[in-house]
Amino acid sequence: MAARFLDTNILLRYLTRDDEKKAESALALLSRVERGEEKVGTTCPPGPCHDLILSWFRP
């Protein structure tokens, strides 16, 4: 299974829930990744948000 690029905007939509429909779509994608149905890769932004974002998504 090839990994798709996961733009950080998808993570931000989920975390901020500023657009509920997009937040639900982001959650659905992240749930598929968690179940192993999809693979994604991303680049993480440097700086203080890096560790915070990663800590929310680590098992």
Q: How many CA atoms lie within 13 A of 37 on its CB side?
A: 7
pLDDT digits (tens, 9 = 90+) for 25-58: 999 999 999 999 999 887 766 666 667 666 766 5
Q: How far is CA 35 from the centre of its chain?
A: 14
Helix 20-34 × helix 8-16 angle, to 10°: 120
**What pLDDT was estimated at residue 28?**
96
Please check the confidence at residue 11 and state whether its pLDDT lies above 70. yes
Q: Are 41 and 31 in contact (CB under 8 A)?
A: no
Q: How far apart are CA 25 and CA 27, in angstroms?
A: 5
